[in-house]
Amino acid sequence: MQLTGKVVFWRDDKGFGFVVCDQTQHKLFFHIRDHAGTEGRPQMGDTLQFSVKQDKRGRDIAAPWQFVTAKTTTLPLPHKAAVHSDRLSIQYANQIALLFRISFLVAVIIALLFGRLLYILPLLYLEASLFTYWLYKTDKEAAIARHGNRLTEESLQLFSLIGGWPGAYIAQQQLAHKRSKLPFRREFGFVIAGNTLLLIWLLSPWGQQFLARMALWAG
């Protein structure tokens, strides 16, 4: 069944927006890639004709859609500049993530050798948490834009494992990202448990002996 509705939100650089259905008054997500026409990009207040289908997460979206009245001013599809910008954002995040992993590993090794790991541990947790939050934010923006170039879940879990899980937890709650995916949430629970056990061991007498031996060996 064909429905109609008015565009109430549109973000041109990301290629998505929301339309309020005239028949049901429901607000539905729609994306530029589902445009059934050949020309034109929507604006606030445009009237669309569309069908309703479900996305991969079972949510109703307006797709395919087209303009009720043909647009007089058009831009070519797809919006290559927006797609290219999203791709660069993910590539940049992956490059920075690699540099952060290398720097983090070097910092931990140096701290171990000089017997200062416990002193800099709070700083390492803070830095890992801030960086992990930024990764979640970048991946959330990529998910909203609905393009295939995304950060891997393994990468997000890895940064949680090395101490960034507080930032990951805050990001899941504030950004509503990855918190409804049960397998990911289950793995995230194991990550928190593993990181907590490692921290407890480092603070234990056995961990203290290990750190002392590492410092003695370096000396």
Is pLDDT of 182 > 80?
yes
Distances in Å between the alpha carbon of 194 and those of 148, 161, 189?
A: 31, 7, 9
Put simply, whether the predicted model's pTM sits higher than 0.85 gets the answer no
In a domain, 75, yes or no: no
> Chain-wide mean pLDDT for the chain?
82
- The count of structural domains within the chain is 2
Is pLDDT of 78 > 60?
no
Is pLDDT of 58 > 90?
no
User: Could you tell me which residues come within 8 angstroms of residue 183 by beta carbon, excluding any fewer than 6 positions away?
Assistant: none
In a domain, 28, yes or no: yes
Quickly list H helices, 115-181. 117-145, 153-159, 165-175
Residue 97: its pLDDT value, please? 80
Phi, then psi, of 162 in degrees rounded to 5:
-85, 10
Do 205 and 103 belong together in one domain? yes
The fraction of the chain above a pLDDT of 70, given in percent, is: 86
In a domain, 158, yes or no: yes
Do 141 and 96 belong together in one domain? yes
pLDDT confidence tier of residue 73, bands split at 50, 70 and 90: very low
Across 173-186, average pLDDT = 88
Q: Can you say how many angstroms the Cα of residue 47 is from the centroid of all Cα atoms in its chain?
A: 31
Q: What is the pLDDT of residues 167-177, one digit of tens each?
A: 999 999 998 88
Contacts 24+ apart (CB under 8 A), 95-103: 97/131, 97/135, 97/151, 97/155, 97/159, 100/131, 100/159, 101/158, 101/162
Do 96 and 132 belong together in one domain? yes
Rounded Cα distance, 218 and 206, in Å? 19
In a domain, 26, yes or no: yes
For residue 50, what are the domain limits? 3-67
Do 61 and 123 belong together in one domain? no
Do 103 and 57 belong together in one domain? no
Within 10 Å of residue 54's Cβ, how many Cβ atoms? 10
Across 178-202, average pLDDT = 91
Is pLDDT of 165 > 80?
yes
User: Could you tell me which residues come within 8 angstroms of residue 108 by beta carbon, excluding any fewer than 6 positions away?
Assistant: 117, 124
Within 10 Å of residue 140's Cβ, how many Cβ atoms? 18
Residue 77: its pLDDT value, please? 44
Do 104 and 57 belong together in one domain? no
Q: What is the pLDDT of residues 108-145, one digit of tens each?
A: 778 777 777 778 888 889 999 999 999 999 888 877 76
Across 64-79, average pLDDT = 62
Q: What is the pLDDT of residues 13-46, one digit of tens each?
A: 788 999 999 999 999 999 988 888 766 788 888 9
Residue 146: its pLDDT value, please? 61
